[in-house]
Structure 1
Amino acid sequence: MYPNRHLLPPYPEKFTIALLGERVHLKNNIGNMILSNPNAFVTVSNSHVVAENDSFKVVNAPDFFDEKCEHPDQQIIDLMAMCYPGPNLFILSVDSENAQEEKVTAQIITLQGIFGERITAHLVLILADNESCHSLIHLKEMFQIQLATTENVAQECRNWRHQSLHHQFQYDYKNYSQDVVRRRRTALERLRCNPPSHHERAGNGAVDNTLNIVLLGLSGTGKSASANTILAAGDSRLDQRQLFASRASSLPVTTECEVRIMAKPFGRPVRVVDTPDFGHEHLKNPQTHIEECKKYCQPGLCVLLLVLQLGRFTDAEGEILQSLERALGWRIRESTIVLLTHGDDLKRNREQFTSEHTPFSNIIQMCGGRYHLFNNNSKDTKQVIALMQKMSNYWNIFPKFEKKALLSECLLC
C-alpha cells in the first residue's frame, strides 16, 4: 500500500530561498527553474510572491535596492516573516546589463546593512551568463559568497540543499522585534494559504471565512461515517443523498474528494471534506486526488481529522501521518486531531487505553496530544459539540463558540 514505508526518511523540511534582485523577469525565471515549474512565478509586481514544491520554498522578494520604496521596513519584516525563522539561502540575481563590479558590490553592501554581515555566508550571486560570472569571480573571495549562472541554478540548488539543509540564516532582530515578525508570519500565512477569489466573496464583497474540516486516513477506518456524524449533528433530517456514501466494503467506497457545507455552526460556515485512501492499490490516479485535497488541506483555515479505528492498527497506519505529510507537502500534524472511531467498543478508560497502546499513543503525541473519540452509531450530538470545542480551544477558530447544541441554522448546501 505504501511501498518501502520503513525505508522512507522522516518528514523533510523544505529548503527556503529568498530571491532578491532588481529585475522581476529574471527572478521569475530563476524561481521557475528552481521549482521545475514554468508557471510558479508569472506576475510582474514589486511585492512578495511565494511558491513551493516538495523540496523548495521560494520567496520572490521585492526590489530592496529601490530608493523610492515607500515602506522598506514593512518589506523587510514581511520577507523575514515568510522565511521564518530564517531562509537557508539568499539568491541575488543580476542581469548582464547590470553586472558591473561597482553596482553589484553596492548591492551586497546594502544587503549586509539590512540583514547583517552574516548574510554573505548564505548568499549566492546568480548571473545571467558565463561571461558576467567570470567578470565578477573575484567577488567570491572578497565577500566569501558563491557564484553561479542561470544555466545550472536548478542543479546547484539541489546540491546546496543536500549540503546545508539545516543551516538557516538567523536574523539578529536588531531593528525589528521577533514578536512582530512572528505575528506577521501568522497573518501572511493565513492570507497566502486562503486567498480570496471571485467565487469566495459574498454579494457585498466580503471574504468568505469558511473553515475546512478534512478527514484523512486509510479505507475502512470510518472517515465517511465520521463526516456524516458531523453533518447530522447540524441537521438530523438529512437524507442519504445529502450525506457521504458509507458502507462496509472490501474496496474503497470513497474514490474522490467530496465536499458538503454546513452553513454556520458556532458562528462561521464549515466545509466538511471526505477523502479517499491515497495509498490504496485500487485508487486510480492518486496524485490527481491528492492535488484536489490540497485545495482544502492547506496551512491556515483548516483542521485535519486523522481517522483511526480502535482495535485495528496496521503497518500502513503506523506510517500514515508521515506518508500524508509527504504527499501534501507540509507538517499537517500541527493542524491535526486524531479521531478514534468505534468508541462504543471501548470498555475502559480512554486515556489508559491510548497510553497502553503504543502505536496509537505515538501518533497522538506526534499530533501534539490532540485526539477525540467518536461513536458513529450514536445520534448524540454532544460528541460533535465536544470536538468543535476542542478545535476552538486549540486554534481559536470558533470565536463565537457557545457550549450548547449546534445551531438549527446549520443547514447543508
Structure 2
Amino acid sequence: MASKYKRLGSEEPQKKEITEKPDLRMVLLGTTGSGKSASGNTILGREDAFESKLSLNSVTSECQKEMGEFEGQKLSVVDTPGVFDNVQTEEEIKTEIRRSISFAAPGPHVFLVVICVDRFTEKERETLRILQQMFGVHLAGYTMALFTRGDDLERGGVTIGNFIREDPALYDFIRQCGGGYQAFNNISRDRSQVRELLEKINTMVQRNGGSCYTNEMFIQAEEAMRQAEADLRIVVVGKTGAGKSSSGNTILGGKAFKTASASSPASVTSECQQEAAMFDFQTLAVVDTPGLFHTVFTLGQVNTEINRCLSLAAPGPHVFLVVIQPSIFIDEEGETVRILQEVFGDKATRYTMALFTHVDDLNVSTEEFIMKTPALRDLVRQCGGGYHVFNNRSRDPAQVRELLEKVNIMVQGNGGSCYTNEMFEKAENAITKEMEQLQKNRPGLMATEARYEAQRNNEFIRGSWVGAVAGAVAGAAAGVGAGVGTAIGTEITVGAIVGAAAGPVGLLVGAALGLAAGAAVGAGVGRSTAAKVRKQACITQ
C-alpha cells in the first residue's frame, strides 16, 4: 500500500505540470491608429499600461514591454510603433519593430497584427505585405489577426467573418495566419474576449510544440529578402500603355512602379527597374521595362537600357511576360514574341507567357476574343507558357497565385532552369566581377548587398552597344526602303526611317519590323546585318 501511495504521489506533480499554462509573450503590430496600445491595455486589464489616445501621429514611438497576469497565466505584451507613422521614417520604424524580438526574448509566441475594421485601406494592405517581408516564412505560424472596433460591425449587422471575406487581400492574410483571428472591443470591460483570445493563442503554442519565433528566424527572413537570386525572376515587356507597370505592381502587391494616370496617359517608365517582394513566401524579382515602340530615347539611352535589362534579369529570367491590352490589339503587336525569339534564340518562346490586361473592356470572353483574332491567336500559340488574365484594379491575390502557379509549372517543364544565353552570361560575369571589387573595397559588405549594387552598376551596363544598334537601323532602313513604300505604322516610320537622326528606342524595333515588312514583298535587303544584332541584344520594351 505504501508503495502505491508513493507512486500516486509522484505522478500528481507530473499531471499538474502538463496542465499548467506556460507564460505567453505577445508582440502587437499594425498601422498608426489601429488600436495596438488600447488592445495591449485590454489584454493586461489595465488602462495605464500603454499610452493610448486619438492622434494622427503614432503615440508609440518605440517598443515598450509590460507584464500582467490573467487567470494564473503570466503575460508579457510588447507594443510597437505604427507602420506608416507620420513622424518617423519607414526605415526608423522598421528598425524599432526589429527590436521587438529582443524585447520578447527568447522570442514571441504570437504576433498580434492589429487591424481596425472601420479603416482597412491600402495602407493596411501594404502593412501586411511589409510585415510578411520583414519576418519571413515563419511569420504565418506565429501570427493572429486582432480586429478592433468590432462593436462597429455588430451595430451595422456585419459579422467579422463577412468583413474578412469581402476583402480578398485580408482574406488571404487570415488564411495564412496560424492563429486565425479574434475581435476586440477595447471599450468593453468584458474579460471573456481576453479569455477567448488567450485560448486561441495557447492552442497555437501547442500546435507549434511550445516553440516561439526566434531571432534566428528573423535573421533568415532578412537574408531571404536580400538573397543573391530571387526564387522567380520576371521580365515584363510590351507596348506603351498596355499595363506593364500596373501588372508589376499587382504581382508585387504594392506600388513599386510608377503608372500612367488619366491626366498623364503617356509611358512613365523611362528606364528598366527591378523591384522585389515576397508572395506566399516565394521571393519575386520583377523587371519593368520602357514600352515597346517607345520613341523618345537617344542612342545612348537605348544602349544603357539594353544592357540594364540584361543586368537586372541576370543570370536570366524565368519568364518573359508579354503584357497585352486585347481591346486595342493591333497586328504589329503580334511581332513581339517573334522579336523576342530572334533576339534571344528559338528557346526564348519556352520562357514566354502572354498576360492580358483590361479584359473587362471586352464584350466577349478572353478565349473567344483570342479565337476571333488570328494575330493574337498566333501570339498565344507561340508562348510556351500560354496566357493569363489580370485585373489590375483588383487586389485579389488569387490572380497572382494562379499566375505564379503557371510560371512554376513552366519552370518545371524547363527543367527548373531560367532562360540564359551568351549575353546574360556576360552580364552575370560582369556582376560577379563588380561584387568582388565592392567586397574588396568594403570588407564588411554582405554578398547579397554587394550583388544588389553590382546589378545596377557594372562594366556590362557601361559597355557600348551604340554601333550594334546603328547597324540594326541601317539594316532596317534598307529593308523598308527596298520593300515598303510607306511604313506599317508610326512606330516603324520613326524607328526605321527617321531613327538614324532621332535615335529613339524604335530603332531596334524598327530593325525587326522593317526587315519583316521588307521580306514580305521580296526585298529582304539588310536582313543579315540586323539579324546578327538581334541575336546579340536585348530589345528595350
TM-score range, shorter chain: 0.3 to 0.5
Normalising by the residue count of structure 2, what TM-score does the alignment of the two structures yield?
0.32
Normalising by the residue count of structure 1, what TM-score does the alignment of the two structures yield?
0.41
More helix by share: 2
- Larger CA Rg, structure 1 vs 2: 2
